[in-house]
Each structure stands twice: as structure tokens, then as C-alpha cells.
Amino acid sequence: MFRTHAQLIEFSASWMFNYFGNMPSATDRTSPTRIGSLVFRGKTALLQLRRAGSDAFDKRVSRHSKRSGLSSDAVIATSRTPLWTEIEPEERFLVAGKIHNLRLAARRLDGLEIPAGQVFSFWKHVGRASRFKGYVEGRELREGCIIPNVGGGLCQMSNALYDAALEAGLEIVERHAHTQIVAGSLAEKDRDATVFWNYVDLRFRSEQPLRIEARLDEKDLIVRFRGEKLNGSRPHQIRRIAVHNDTPASCATCEMGDCHRVVDAAEHRDFGKTAYLVDEFSPEFDTLIQGSRTGKDVLLLPLDGKRFRKGNYAWTIRGFGSVKQSLLVTAVRSYRSRKLAAQGRTRQLNLLAMYERLAESYAKRLGYDVLHVVVQQNLLPFLWKSGHLGGRTFDVLMTSLPMAELQKRLDRAAELHPESSTLGDFRADPALIAAETDALKRARRIITPHSDIAALFPNRAMRLPWDLPATKEAAPRLRGGKPVVVYPAATVGRKGCYELREALRGLDVKLILLGPMIEDAGFWEGFDIEQVADDWLARADLVLLPAHVEHKPRRLLLAAANGIPVIATSACGVDGVAGIRSVPPSDTDALRTAIREALGTSS
């Protein structure tokens, strides 16, 4: 048994030199044998047992918790390294596997806070990489070759941690250099740290409390330390064992047919697929998906709406490589939704909670071979915050304004109408808003039929045409009575009910309301009103929606398709649709003028 960590480290270094030091060069290298691999596993098993025994009696090395106490402290070190490098197509599956493994490790490390004087151990917090824990085969450098191994690629995380630890001036307790320098890696700067469960570890200590943040964006692995920067001393380094071949061979492209590690490249030549993550049905998005999906792609949806006769989930499922449903989450969401009021803070909190559960359900089904994601907006912040979109490109199916913009508009409307009981009843968690904002910045494309949303992303928006409903045959209407004006929404501040009331004041019209009265009960006092008329489409002379926020203008499209004049604000997202006149939000004078012109009256 080793008495100290130093003895264990020196033994490990000595053994690694004996095993790797006399490796032949690229020109005369012989194939690894199965017997050699078995010997390697036997020796590593002994070293792993020794390390486990040593750690059992070392109280300095322990697991630390995730906290938020240091989340606002200054960033004292940052390491950013690319996820994708220039590789042969046959190696894409190994790099994708590496990135998947890094996602898992980042979730274990992100948010850790290390008390002052305590030792951080890479393996204590990441744990052993196994298939049971979700790890897959990734790139691992061994014996001068890049081989597929479960958990392969975690060295990129340990490299980044070591790089940040040096920048922050931390005390390096244990570090091992790689046995070979790969071009473009941190090893070229002597800022790398190899790891191998559990005896080849990375350990460091800070004299002050330290917070670790680790995440993947679409291109890079990013590790940040927060706390107080120190002037740490760099200890004696484990010597780097030189290997003569500058470019390691990869098992995915190696031509040594007699090597037991060689991978059949043909199996991975067509590697990579797209996953479509959807929720509430949209005909515009359904048409887009059917035109872009391939036979190997995957569709994740709440349930098969056509089979279960649920129109709100009626996505077309044919033509995908696989279709996966989240039936339990959908059932729970439906049950909880029926128990809540149609409006209000409680309902909004429940919606967000169920979006998160659906996103988590989908995330568990994202294989490492999913390289591109098309995701509906309500799921986006949760997938981004949990790191599941890291290392992948993604497009967003936008169904509503970004939360930051939405709340800004609601705040402006609340200033105009402080008497409203609905304009300030809910605001999302700032952390969730920040996650969505960050994710939208990283998205490759923003896809939406909504003109107002598309205008927020002028360089990346892909605007789809609205799917206009089929026209209906209306019974001939007897003329001569009051003009009939339809307000196709609930009486709530965000739908422009205050502006509409002011614009209609003094006009002799009949007002049909197609939603409940959420503002005060006497809101429409003095007006000739009728609520929720089933035959509104046959009776309407004009449809009005001066909304501050409108994400589902289906009734406006229905009216326009049936030749009924429509006046709506630009916030309704239907600019350019034939038969719909647009007016600015909050502009009561412009709304009143448009109404009088449409009804042909000056009174």
C-alpha cells in the first residue's frame, strides 16, 4: 500500500513510462494484441484498487456540493476549447461520443462550490464512466492511437479544469501530462491533464472558496472559475513521455486490418441525424418538418394526436426513422391543467413546470448521434439550461415572443393601464429568461410565421406563410341592423381591451365577445355586448384585435379567409395577410380611424 499520494503518483508515472515509453514510431508500430490489452487491464485494476484504498483514509479528498453562494462572484479564470475539430467523416461518431460524454461530465461539475482549503478531485465528482450512467464510446488516446472507449474524451474536461486552475493561481495537488502531444490541444502549451479512472486523477486546492462552472455551447467547452484570484505555486510536474509519431492513428481510419481495435468505417459513414422536439400542433411547422425530415430522423412529441384524436397534437408522424412519445408527462399535464383557472399566475407556473418535465423527458431520448435539433420554443430554455443542446446545432420553432421581450411589452402596457388586474399578474424567473435569451442568441435559425417575432431576428429568421383556414359557407345575412363588431379574445389587458373600449366609445355597434371577462365585471358597461356567439363568423361586419401580445391569431386568419375585414395590431403577427389592416399597438386614435373607415361611418 502506498503511504502517500506522492508515492502513488510516482508509481503511476513509472508504470506508464514502462508501458508507453518504448512504443515504436508510426512507421514501425505493430498492432496492439488482445493479450497486451488484458495485461493492461490487469495492471490498471491493481492501481485502481490501490488508489481506492488510499482515498478511503484521506479525509482531504471528498465530494463537494452544488450551491449558489458564489454565483455572483467575479470570474477569475476561463478556459474555452473547441468541441469539433477537423476530422475524417469516419471519425464523426467518435467526436460526437466525446461531446456526449462531456455533456454528462459538465452536468456533474457545473455549480460545484469548493470550500477554502479543500481538495477538488476530478474522479470524485465525475465518477466512473460507464454505459449504465449513460456514457458512450468516444475518442481516447492510448498507445499512440485514438481508440473508441466508453467515456472517451473526458480528458478535454480535465485539460480545461487544469488550464483554468493555472490561470486562477490554484495549488495543483496532482496532475499527469499526456504521453503524446496532439496538434492544436492544450498539451502543446503544457496545460493538459490526462485522467484514467481512478488512479490517474486531477486534483487542486484553493485557499479561498471556489466555484466551478462548466457547460457546452454549440462550438466550445467552457469552464469558468469564480472566487478570488490567488498567486499559487506550480508544483513539480509529472514528466511527459515522448512518443515519436506526431499524428496518432485513429481506429476509425486505421488500415491495420489485423488490429482488434479497428472499427468498420462503413457502419459510421452516414452517421448523424436530426431530432424534432415538438409540443402543441402548428400546421405551419408540420408542413416545414415534413419537407425537411429524412428517413433516419427522430420525432419526439407528447403523443400521437391523430391516433388518440387530440387535435392539439396532430403532428404527421410518417417518414421518420423513429417516433417517441411522452405519454405519462402528457397525461399529468392534462390532469393538472383541468384543475386550474384559464388565466393567472398559478396557471403560468404550472405551464412552465410541465414544459420543463416534457423537455427532460425528451432529453433522455436524445442519442449522441443527434447532431442537429429542431425544437419548439417552450422547451428551449430548459434544454439549454441543462446542457442538452451543447455541441449540437439547433433551430427554434418560435411560437411566442421571447420572454424578455414579452415582459417588456407587458410592463409598458401596465404603465398605460395601471388599473388592469391582469397585466402584472405574472413574470417568469429571471434565470429562465436569461437561459432563453442566451439560447436564442446561439440558435442557427429562428423559424416562425409570426411577422412580429420574425422582425426581432432580421438576419436569422425564416418566416413561414400562415396556413389559412378553409372558407365556410355562411348563410345570407339580413342587413339594416347595427354593425356587428367581433372581439376574438378574452377581456384582458394584453389583448387590447382598454384600447378597444376607448375606440368604440360613441359608436352605435353591437360587440360580440369571444372570450371570458377577466378584467372587472363592469368593464363593458354601457356597450351593447353579446358573449361567445357560435355564429359570429356569419354575423360579423368587422373583427378587431388591438392586442399588445397575440401569439395565436387563428381567428383573425379565419375571418380574413372568409372575406371579413380585420383590424389588428402589428403585435398579432399577421402583417401582409390579405384582408387584414395593421395599426400600431396602444394607438387608440389610429384604431378609431380604421374602425370608422371600415364601417363606413363618420359618427
Phi-psi region of 51 (alpha: psi -120 to 50; beta: other; left: phi over 0): alpha
Q: Residue 278 gets which letter from DSSP?
A: -
Residue 534: the pLDDT is 86
How many domains does the chain fold into?
3
241, 267, 293 — which closes off a domain?
267
Give the pLDDT score at 230.
72
Beta strands across the sheet bearing 203-205: 119-121, 203-205, 171-174
Angle between helices 403-416 and 430-442 (to 10 degrees): 130
Is 42:91 a contact under the CB 8 Å cutoff?
A: no
Residues 68 and 169 in one domain: yes
Specify the pLDDT at position 289: 98
Same domain, 128 and 201: yes
- Domain assignment present for 504: yes
Do 386 and 317 lie in one domain? The reply is yes
Helix 497-504 crosses helix 588-599 at what angle (to 10 degrees)?
A: 50
Residues 14 and 150 in one domain: yes
Half-sphere exposure of 391 (CA within 13 A, CB side): 32
Residue 345 inside a domain? The answer is: yes
Backbone dihedral region for residue 229 (phi beyond 0: left; psi -120 to 50: alpha; all else: beta): beta
Q: What are phi and psi of 596, to 5 degrees?
A: -65, -40
Return the pLDDT at 308.
87
CA distance linking residue 432 with residue 481, whole number of Å: 51
pLDDT at 575: 95
Separation CA 383–CA 325 (nearest Å): 17
Q: Which domain holds residue 410?
A: 273-463
Instruction: Indicate the DSSP class of residue 312.
Output: G
**Coil, strand or helix: which one is 372?**
strand
Sign, Cα dihedral of 217, 222, 223, 225: negative
Residue 584 lies in a domain: yes
* pLDDT at residue 474, as a whole number: 54
CATH of the domain at 333: 3.40.50
- Say if residue 218 is in the same domain as residue 122: yes
pLDDT of residue 19: 43
Task: Indicate whether 476 belongs to any domain.
Answer: no
Q: Is residue 17 part of a domain?
A: yes
Query: Is residue 165 located within the same domain as residue 141?
Result: yes
Give CA–CA dist 83/156, Å, rounded. Answer: 9
What's the CATH number where 576 sits?
Answer: 3.40.50.2000
Q: How many CA atoms lie within 13 A of 410 on its CB side?
A: 19
Q: Among positive and negative, which fits the CA dihedral 506, 507, 509, 515?
A: negative
Instruction: Determine, yes or no, domain membership for 430.
Output: yes
List the grid coordinates of 344: 393567472
Does 468 map to a domain? no
Domain shared by 527 and 560, yes or no: yes
Cell for 551? Answer: 401569439
Task: Specify the pTM.
Answer: 0.86
Residue tagged 436530426 (cell numbers): 274
Q: Is residue 473 part of a domain?
A: no
Pairing of strands 203-205, 171-174: antiparallel
Please tell me the predicted confidence (pLDDT) of residue 353: 94
CA neighbor of 140 nearest in space, from 77, 72, 195, 211: 195
- Tell me, yes or no, whether 205 and 122 share the same domain: yes
Domain termination residue (choose one: 463, 495, 519): 463
Q: What stretches of 180-324 show up as alpha helix (H) in DSSP?
A: 283-292
Q: In whole angstroms, give the CA distance from residue 235 to residue 237.
A: 6
CB-count exposure of residue 130 (10 Å: 0-12, 13-18, 19+): exposed
Average pLDDT of adjacent 10-residue blocks, the chain of 603 residues? 45 44 46 70 79 75 89 94 81 91 96 94 93 89 75 93 94 87 68 87 93 94 90 50 53 58 63 96 97 96 91 95 96 87 77 95 96 97 95 96 96 94 87 96 97 96 93 56 93 96 94 92 93 88 96 96 95 96 95 94 47
Pair (68, 84) in one structural domain = yes
546, 500 contact by CB (below 8 A): yes
Indicate the DSSP class of residue 505: T
**454: phi then psi, degrees, rounded to nearest 5:** -60, -35
pLDDT of residue 340: 74
Last residue in a domain, options 267, 292, 307: 267
Per-residue pLDDT at 17: 40
Distance set, CA 77 to CA 6, 201, 520 (Å): 27, 21, 55
Lookup result for grid cell 429568421: 461
User: Are both 370 and 351 inside the same structural domain?
Assistant: yes
pLDDT at 379: 98
**Parallel/antiparallel/unpaired status of strands 370-376 and 75-82:** unpaired
Cβ 132 vs Cβ 150: under 8 Å: no
Give how far the C-alpha of residue 60 lies from the chain's centroid of Cα atoms, to the nearest Å: 37
Q: Do 97 and 198 fall within a single domain?
A: yes
Regarding whether 93 and 238 lie in a shared domain, the answer is yes
Strands 112-114, 249-250: pairing is unpaired
Q: Looking at the DSSP assignment, which residues form a beta bridge with residue 529?
A: 511
What is the pLDDT at residue 271? 87
The cell numbers describing 89, all together, are 467523416
What is 511-550 written as a DSSP string? Answer: EEE-S-B-S-TTTTTTSEEEE--TTHHHH-SEEEE--S--
Helix (H, G, I), strand (E, B) or coil at 431: helix
